[in-house]
Structure 1
Amino acid sequence: MKPERNKHARWLCMAALCAASTAASAQTSVTLYGVLDEGLNYTSNVGGHSQVAMASGFPHGSRWGLKGNEDLGGGTTAVFQLENGFDVDNGRAFQGGALFGRQAYMGLSDQRWGSITLGRQYDSVVDYLAQTSAGGSWGGYMFAHPYDNDNLINTFRVNNTVKYTSPALGGLKFGGMYGFSDDTKFSNNRVFSAGGQYAQGGLVLAAAYLQADNPSATSYGAINNGGDQNLPGSKLKIWGAGGTYALGKATVGLSYARTEVADPRSSAYVGDITPPSGTLSGLRFQNFEANIKYQAAPSYWFGAMYAYTRATFDATSGKKHPVYHSVGLMADYIFSKRTDVYAQAMYQHVGGDKTGSVLDAAYVAGSANVASGSNQMMLRLGLRHFF
């Protein structure tokens, strides 16, 4: 009987080890994920010439990442996420060459109280407001408002942040973040933002605010001057509101965003924006957008957007008001849960007052350079794969 008892004991021990292993795997998980987005672009006017080019990461930035969690008990979980952005064309890293330039954070999440995370993260404008715009939801890069002045397509992330995100409370979710300057002058290159979103049935309403003090002034502050900037100046303010409503196969969105830049110097997209004579003390944008996405069938959908942007160019020569009209179209065909092919078109026309600066020329986000005049069109055919 002794050998039989030993056999049962070994079997019970193995079963216990398997059960413990299964429980551990259920309590802790790490996921490898990513997106590959590659395609061909045609641009009608790049300094007076048409261009055909291969380009990566338009509706979705190409990326790979790791995210995980560990159950700490009592409804509390340790979480982390590391995400690298890269160019499929040549393999180089985006976001200024940072290893995890898209996101890099860790923290704690609680079912009752929400989450607190620390590291390099998205601001509240991206977290809550961006989803009401075409660029921040289904359209991506090409559908940005001029120079991505409102950061709805993530031109910059924020370093050194502490972020709070609430749990869902009857359809309401809110949060905020603070990005430290890490400088002896506490306010030199810091960022703070807050926002919220309410979802009920097919309705989503959102609002957000962001302020950056002396952004990109240092290489180690909240906004890195090496790979994170949209409109550097002494102060950046962004606020806005928007909403979407799903009705049958269609989802309609409306959004408004206002951006103010004090003492602006340049744009990450078009370089120096100052006039040839005099100084530029302020730059403001008001972005009004309407968009629609129509899910014609499970395997394909169509989208369209129109944005009207009115700028205020405040120079020593006086105030000027250039205006930007942006029209975008997109069609997507889904081969499988992981792979799809899409086509995009974007047209921009610049009118209103002339500023004497590069802002008078049309520029679709993602094109190689500004147009030689007030019109530019970009067409794209792309392939995406999720893993």
Structure 2
Amino acid sequence: MKKSHFWVGPIVALAAANANAQSSVTLYGLIDLGINYSSNAQTGRNADGSLNGKSQVNMSDGATRGYGGSRWGLKGSEDLGGGLSAIFTLENGYNIVNGAIAQGGAMFGRQAFVGLSSNTFGTVTLGRQYDTQSDFVANYSPAIIAGISGAVPGDVDGLGHTRRVNNAVKYLSQNYRGFTFGGLYSLGGQAGNFTRSQVWALGANYAIGGFSAGLGYFNARDPNLSSFGNSPNNGGPATNNMGSAGSLTTAQSNPIYAGYSSAHTYEIYSAGASYKYGGTTFAASFSHSAFDKLGDLEAGPNPFHYSGTAIFNTATATVSYLATPALLIGGAYTYTHGGGAGGDGSATYHQGIFAVQYFLSKRTELYFFGVYQAATGTDSLGQPAVASIELMTPSSTNHQFVGRVGIIQRF
């Protein structure tokens, strides 16, 4: 993939000291636009309080319904000598349909960090970043074939790249004979309470030949604020940043876990593995996610008066096949079971995915995916569970199908 480069010379006053140093800044980006069909999208409630929904056809940016989401960014590096480099990344997400800034209006809401990279010791970066599950486990999830909409329901395992971490210090090791590892810590910044709103994560990966496997752990205090509420348009503890119960004229949002915004801690254990044989890749993942100690009103509202812990266990299986150098076909199945809080029921979600990518060139591709989800039980809003494909408008029923045809152009 060809990218544009801007070469920056050393500052004149330091030219002698940096005669052998080189600096570069790379401009890069991606545009993802498509047309969607949803078999059922909520429009509000009927007079009797039941949910109302209709089929929908619309155009949208990939940030909400596609593979990756439109973006542009700048990456820079400076050779400091002795195998050490200074690096930075500034990445902006935007909506190609209307030009609006994504990630809640943050100018560089996708990523914004600076750091040092050593050929010997690894890389340390500081700023707004993905947690280490994205580095070590995400490549084993169904999101690899259908992007955000292929993530598990609600992206409850955090492997769909839908959330970032602010104020984060992150370390990634060098590759030691196939083994890599890393960790992240985010300072909560709360006066008088060092651990309030902190986030930390660990991960590791091993790869040899066509086999690879990864492990991850994620822990966020006050997740309604630190994990789901860290963009400019989010509110404080009185606001549910994790979702909404909707109204007579508006749809619900994230009914899978919207009722758990008062969690004191959000924990995720994740693991995955893949094996590549010729043009076929098999992948599987498992995750255990928990919203612990519900009822913390300093973290978020608790309209359903939940207590205890809500748990989600998820297993996925994915296969992709490179039929020709230009044609990639994939399929996946996801099973998610959520244990209700305070003894209030549970919900189960079955999800199937089929995806096709056709590469017109190294920079341009056409794609299609279809996602079907069926739900049973009782969800976090205390209602019969409704289907809710990630980042789509939830269905008014227990099932939903979404199909999308799109184009991606990289630069």
Same fold by TM-score, threshold 0.5 exceeded?
Answer: yes
Match of residue 4 from structure 1: none
Contact 2:171–2:184, Cα closer than 8 Å, also in 1: yes
* Residue in structure 2 matched with residue 255 of structure 1 by the alignment: 285
What CA distance in whole angstroms lies between the structure 1 residues aligned with 2:58 and 2:303?
29
Does the CA contact (< 8 Å) of 1:190 and 1:222 recur in 2? no
CA distance in 2, matches of 1:25, 1:56: 43
Alignment length, in residue pairs?
Answer: 355
CA positional deviation for 1:280: 5.0
Matched, 1:224 2:215: no
- What is aligned with 1:312? 339
1:138 deviates by 3.2
Counterpart CA distance in 2 for 1:216 and 1:96 is: 15
Following the alignment from structure 2 to structure 1, what is the Cα–Cα distance between the partners of residues 302 and 151? 18
* Equivalent position to 1:329, from 354, 372, 376: 354
Residues 325-383 of structure 1 show CA distances to partners (whole Å, capped at 9, x for unaligned) of: 0001100110011001000100000024577625711111132x221111000000000
Q: Distance in 1 between matches of 2:194 and 2:54?
A: 47
> Sequence identity, in percent?
38
TM-score (norm 2): 0.81
Distance across 1 between alignment mates of 2:132 and 2:303? 29
Partner Cα distance (2:222, 2:403) in 1:
36
Contact 1:158 1:222 in 2 (8 A): no
Match of 2:156 in 1: 149
Cα deviation digits, residues 228-257 of structure 1 (max 9, x gap): 865642110011111010001100001001
Secondary structure of 2:138's counterpart equals: helix
1:101 match: secondary structure? coil
Match of 1:37 among 32, 35, 39: 32
1:362 and 2:362 aligned? no
Contact 1:294 1:302 in 2 (8 A): yes
Q: For residues 125 and 355 of structure 1, do their structure 2 counterparts lie closer, same or farther at Cα, with a shift above 3 Å needed?
A: closer
**Cα deviation, residue 127, structure 1:** 1.4
Structure 1 position 49 matched with structure 2 position 54: yes
Superposition map of 1:1-387 within 5 A: 27-47=22-42, 48-57=53-62, 58-135=66-143, 137-184=144-191, 185-217=193-225, 224=230, 226=232, 230=242, 232=261, 233-263=263-293, 275=304, 278-279=305-306, 281-315=308-342, 318-352=343-377, 357=382, 360-367=385-392, 369-387=393-411
The residue type equivalent to 2:189 in the other structure is D
* 2:49 alignment counterpart: none
Distance in 1 between residues matched to 2:320 and 2:314, nearest whole Å: 19
AA matched with 2:173? S
Conserved 8 A contact 1:196-1:206 = yes
Structure 2 match to 1:7: none
Structure 1: any 5+ residue segments left out of the alignment? 1-19, 266-270
Judging changes above 3 Å, is the alpha-carbon distance between structure 1 residues 87 and 25 closer, same or farther for their aligned structure 2 residues? farther
Gaps of 5+ in 2: 1-14, 43-52, 235-240, 243-256
* Aligned-pair CA distance for 1:225: 5.8
Is the contact between residue 189 and residue 216 of structure 1 (CA under 8 Å) also seen in structure 2?
no
Secondary structure in structure 2 of the residue aligned to 1:139: helix
- In structure 2, do the counterparts of structure 1 residues 222 and 149 end up closer, same or farther at CA, with 3 Å as the change threshold? closer
Structure 2 Cα separation of the partners of residues 217 and 293 of structure 1? 37
**Cα offsets for 1:143-193 (capped at 9, x unmatched):** 111111111112210011111110000000100010011121211111000
RMSD (CA atoms)? 2.5
Amino acid at match of 1:166: S
- Partners of 2:131 and 2:345 in 1: how far apart? 30
Q: Choose 160-169 or 355-364, whichever is displaced more.
A: 355-364
Q: Which residue of 2 aligns with 1:12?
A: none
